[in-house]
Amino acid sequence: MELSLSREDAAFRDEVRAFIAENYPHEMRVPNPETDLTKDQMLLWHRILHKKGWIAPLWPKEYGGPGWSITRRFIFEQETSRAGTLPPLAFSVTMVGPVIYTFGNEAQKKKFLPRILSGKDWWCQGYSEPGSGSDLASVRTKAVRDGDHYIVNGHKTWTTLAQHADWIFCLVRTDPAAKAQAGISFLLIDMKSPGVTVRPIITIDGSHEVNDVFLEDVRVPAENLIGEENKGWSYAKFLLGNERTSMASIGRSTRYLNRLKQIVKSEISADDPAFSEFIREIARVELDVLALEATELRIVAQMSRGIEPGPVASLFKIRGTEIFQRITDLTHQAIGNYGLAIREHPISANHFMPGPDYGHTASEKYMNSRKLSIYGGSNEIQRNIIAKAVLGL
Amino acid sequence: MDIQLTEEQELLRGSLQRLLRDRYDFDARRKIVATDEGWSRKHWSAFAELGLCAAPFQESSGGLGGGPLATMIVMREFGRNLVVEPFLETVVLAGGLIEDVGSQAQHDAFLPQIMAGESIWALAWAEGCSRYDFNNVATTARRQSEVYVLNGTKATVIGAPWADKLIVSARTSGEPRDRSGVSLFVVDRQSANLHLQSFKTIDGRRAAEITLMNVQVPASQLLGTEGEGVAALEACRDRAIAALCAEAVGAMSELNSVTLEYAKTRKQFGVALGTFQVLQHRMVDMFIALEEAISLTQHLNLSLATGEPHGSKLASGAKSKVGYAARFIAEQAIQLHGGMGMSDELNVGHYFKRIASINVQFGDPTYHLMRYARS
């Protein structure tokens, strides 16, 4: 399914396609790019996009964005996703970057934005805490003003790729007396500061993506406060809005669905009743993808006419993640007995993994994708958002 | 991708909305359905005066050139208002078939009357054992010099009791399940030896079982190429599906809005139903189901309008996905209305019944899921 494109936009699409084909690093094509690459490998594509000026499609031109229309941003998103490229680190480019150029002061913009664009700084997100889950406003990490510094104490968790991070953007409580959202500030903390400790959390798929981050008497210069003290909640909400914009992940679902079809053909004979069952389930998921893609294109077309999409981003998050979870579930079922096996410590990748190549990531993907309906505001939270903001309940 | 209506299309939709608001509210509809005939010729004439009956036809056929998008606009509004008049049967099915495969003489003889709202048609393709396949035809048509002689029984022909003309599929050669050998005929409903047994459908329409015993049809009334009726019916089904999906979307959007309204006002345990999270999330899922159905229906209609390849596969996909979504919304709308949802007084149950009926017409969601999967 395609947007009907003007001649210029179609030429742009071809340019993006060709650029990916010619420049996407071969060494990033590994079985599971999300877990198998080193930090330097992950940054290869980032640096190539930066050099081309395409690293931050969302950003305004004055801060280093390419100045694309909504349609071109969508084309770029669609093409990079279809080609299976690893997206640049979202915490840097789509999350903290826009917060800094929207709410930060000139010194902060000058200091941080170029380093985000170049990939010099790797950012992680200090939102969740052991007691807070989806209820972010319950943050307990404290920041107490001490002259021109804050003294920060607390415990952040589920911090994705913190093991690579140079900086962490944190929600911290600066006014313990104020209620929930009111006493929260948005603070940027150098991961090299004394008192910052990162401890890996190994997830059920055996990978190391997330971490605990302990903050003990960390001295943070007050100049690292974004915007005003105690106004952090509104910046955090702004950021979450960005986080949810492109979670339909049509390209990814389509690629995994095509692979699932191949696996089913190779693994199950056509006269086995299970074959029909798979064909039927695959058709249902394929139609789910098609309907979501048509919805995405409908919304993009509306946005390019200046109509604000509103909280419909929650719809993409809900359906995009449900669909991908279903695909990984079916893929795990399709490989049969080899669904018992799982790769160990993917980064070393030198352990024996039985069964055909196409099944090697089925178990870990099935397990890992359980996270999708939990992070970024759980799907239940997304339904609360639609209920309130769209349905008026 | 998103359909931004042209000025003409906006005009069509706006005037139809006004007409239906003024003359086709739920009470008016109830009265129409309760009459002996079960439909309203007066309302039909009003639709024709608005130009609805001419809207989808090509300008070269004397129509307004609106194509599938015009049909979509009309059917969505009809779905909102539960309109029973045979627009689908007369304009989309019969009119579409005639325009698609009819001869110039047949265009001239039939299309102007259809566009003027002066003749009502029905499509008799199903048989007792056909399920949803056009090739399962046991009815026969035997050529005897200048006439065909038709024998057999056609099943569940929607709108037949209202119709002036029927399009009947009958086998001119081959075995009952052969793809080739099925032909289409234009048959006068009043023909000698053609018998109707009428019945009411679950959604307040009228249909009939039709028995043909040596019915003589002039050879000039063969519609399209002899023996190639299945392909014509398949193309007709794609157009019908696009229209039915739009009608379903209209019905779904009304169900969602009345259910939401009810949840905000109806109190249980001292609070509005809508304050319960489990019901909020149900209604969010109904909202999402509708949004996806709208998108897919638009995508299908645009694809048919521009003659995209794979239009037929897409039609089956949409029939399936929209059908499941419509069933989910309809069932949940009754559930959320509680006991009231069971009452015939409320419009909710009538939308439910129309959706149940749409899900049977031209193949159910499972049938089309498998057709989509295999094509």
Same domain, A250 and A376: yes
Q: What is the pLDDT of residues A210-229, one digit of tens each?
A: 999 999 999 999 999 999 99
Contact A47, A54 (CB under 8 A): no
Say whether A215 sits in a helix, a strand or coil. Answer: strand
CATH code where residue A160 lies: 2.40.110.10
Q: Residue A352 is encoded by which pair of tokens?
A: 């024996």
Same domain, A383 and A252: yes
Number of H helices and E strands in chain A, helices first, is 13, 8
Question: Using a CB-CB distance cutoff of 8 angstroms, which residues of chain B are in contact with residue A292?
Answer: 292, 295
Mean pLDDT, chain A, rounded, equals 92
**Using CA atoms, how far apart are residues B367 and A271, in angstroms rounded to an integer?**
19
Same domain, A300 and A182: no
Domain count, chain A: 3
Same domain, A257 and A364: yes
Q: Count CB atoms within 10 A of the CB of residue A140.
A: 14
In a domain, A302, yes or no: yes
Comparison of pLDDT for A286 and A351, the residue scoring more: A286
Chain length of chain A: 393
CATH code where residue A79 lies: 1.10.540.10
At residue B170, φ and ψ (nearest 5 deg) are -150, 155
Q: What is the pLDDT of residues A48-88, one digit of tens each?
A: 999 999 999 989 999 999 999 988 998 999 999 999 999 99
In a domain, A118, yes or no: no
pLDDT of the residue at B170: 98
Q: What is the pLDDT of residues B225-236, one digit of tens each?
A: 999 999 999 999
Rounded to a whole number, what is the distance in angstroms from the first to the last CA of chain A? Answer: 34
Compare all CA atoms of chain B with the CA of A294 and give the residue at the minimum distance. Answer: B295
Q: Which residues pair with residue A190 across a beta bridge?
A: A167
In a domain, A360, yes or no: yes
Confidence band (pLDDT; 50, 70, 90) for A350? low
Distance from the B108 Cα atom to the nearest Cα atom in chain A, whole angstroms = 37
At residue A309, φ and ψ (nearest 5 deg) are -75, -20
Distance from the B281 Cα atom to the nearest Cα atom in chain A, whole angstroms = 6
Same domain, A314 and A264: yes
Same domain, A355 and A297: yes
Q: Which residues pair with residue A168 across a beta bridge?
A: A124, A189
pLDDT of the residue at B1: 45
**Using CA atoms, how far apart are residues A10 and A282, in angstroms rounded to an integer?**
31
In a domain, A52, yes or no: yes
Q: Residue A321 is encoded by which pair of tokens?
A: 């993640």
Task: For CA atoms B272, B278, B282, B284, give the dihedral sign.
Answer: positive
Continuous segment of H or E residues that includes residue B171: strand B165-171
pLDDT of the residue at A352: 82
- Count of CA atoms in the C-beta half-sphere (13 A) of B186: 28
Distance from the B177 Cα atom to the nearest Cα atom in chain A, whole angstroms = 23
Average pLDDT on A9-28 reads 97
Cα distances (Å, whole numbers) of residue A64 to A70, A241, A263: 16, 21, 43
In a domain, A112, yes or no: no
pLDDT of the residue at A131: 84
Question: Using a CB-CB distance cutoff of 8 angstroms, which residues of chain A are in contact with residue B299?
Answer: 1, 290, 294, 297
Cα distances (Å, whole numbers) of residue B361 to B92, B132, B151, B174, B240: 14, 9, 24, 26, 9
Q: Which residues pair with residue B124 across a beta bridge?
A: B168
Which residues, at least 6 apart from A10, have a Cβ–Cβ distance to it below 8 Å?
Answer: none
Same domain, A220 and A304: no
In a domain, A100, yes or no: no
Same domain, A46 and A72: yes
Q: Count CB atoms within 10 A of the CB of residue A163.
A: 18
The reply to whether residue B296 touches residue A291, judged by beta carbons under 8 angstroms, is: yes
Say whether A128 sits in a helix, a strand or coil. Answer: coil
The overall pTM is greater than 0.95: no
Low-confidence residues of chain B: pLDDT under 70: 1-2
Looking at A62, A88, A114, which one is the last position of a domain? A88
Among B284, B296, B298, select the one facing A383 at the smallest CB separation: B284
Strands B206-218 and B194-200, sheet pairing: antiparallel
Average pLDDT on A42-50 reads 97
DSSP string, A9-47: HHHHHHHHHHHHHHHS-GGG--S-HHHH--HHHHHHHHH
**Using CA atoms, how far apart are residues B71 and B204, in angstroms rounded to an integer?**
22
Q: Which residues pair with residue B168 across a beta bridge?
A: B124, B185
pLDDT of the residue at B147: 98
Same domain, A202 and A273: no
Compare all CA atoms of chain A with the CA of B318 and give the residue at the minimum distance. Answer: A287
Contact A233, A175 (CB under 8 A): no
Which structural domain range is residue A35 located in? 7-88
Average pLDDT on A248-271 reads 95
In a domain, A192, yes or no: yes
Q: What is the CATH number of domain B122-227?
A: 2.40.110.10
pLDDT of the residue at A135: 83
Q: Count CB atoms within 10 A of the CB of residue A75.
A: 24
Q: What is the CATH number of domain B7-119?
A: 1.10.540.10
Q: What is the pLDDT of residues A95-131, one digit of tens each?
A: 999 999 999 999 999 999 999 999 999 999 999 999 8
Which residue has tokens 């989309």? B92
Question: Where along chain B do its domains lie?
Answer: 7-119, 122-227, 231-374
Which residue has tokens 């095509």? A258
pLDDT of the residue at A174: 96
DSSP string, B206-242: EEEEEEEEEEEEEGGGEESSTTBHHHHHHHHHHHHHH
pLDDT of the residue at A134: 77
**Using CA atoms, how far apart are residues B355 and B52, in angstroms rounded to an integer?**
23
In a domain, A114, yes or no: no
Contact B247, B320 (CB under 8 A): no
The reply to whether residue B287 touches residue A391, judged by beta carbons under 8 angstroms, is: yes
In 3D, which of A70, A193, A95, A210 has the Cα closest to residue A143?
Answer: A193
Distance from the A156 Cα atom to the nearest Cα atom in chain B, whole angstroms = 29
pLDDT of the residue at A306: 84
Residue A261's Cβ-count burial label (10 Å; 0-12, 13-18, 19+) is: middle
Q: Residue A294 is encoded by which pair of tokens?
A: 């048509």
**Using CA atoms, how far apart are residues A346 and B91, in angstroms rounded to an integer?**
61
Which residues, at least 6 apart from B53, have a Cβ–Cβ distance to it below 8 Å?
Answer: B47, B87, B90, B91, B95, B114, B115, B116, B117
Same domain, A12 and A58: yes
Measured N-to-C along each axis, helices A7-23 and A70-82 cross at an angle, to the nearest 10 degrees, of: 30
Q: What is the CATH number of domain B231-374?
A: 1.20.140.10
pLDDT of residue A38 exceeding 50? yes
Same domain, A62 and A143: no
Q: Residue A16 is encoded by which pair of tokens?
A: 């993006």
Task: For CA atoms B303, B306, B309, B311, give the dihedral sign.
Answer: positive
ipTM value greater than 0.90? yes
Average pLDDT on A135-162 reads 95
Indicate the residue type of A230.
Answer: N
Same domain, A225 and A251: no
Compare all CA atoms of chain B with the CA of A312 and give the residue at the minimum distance. Answer: B288
DSSP string, A243-282: HTTTTT-HHHHHHHHHHHHHHHHHHS-TTSHHHHHHHHHH
Q: Count CB atoms within 10 A of the CB of residue B232.
A: 23
Continuous segment of H or E residues that includes residue A50: helix A39-52
pLDDT of the residue at A371: 95
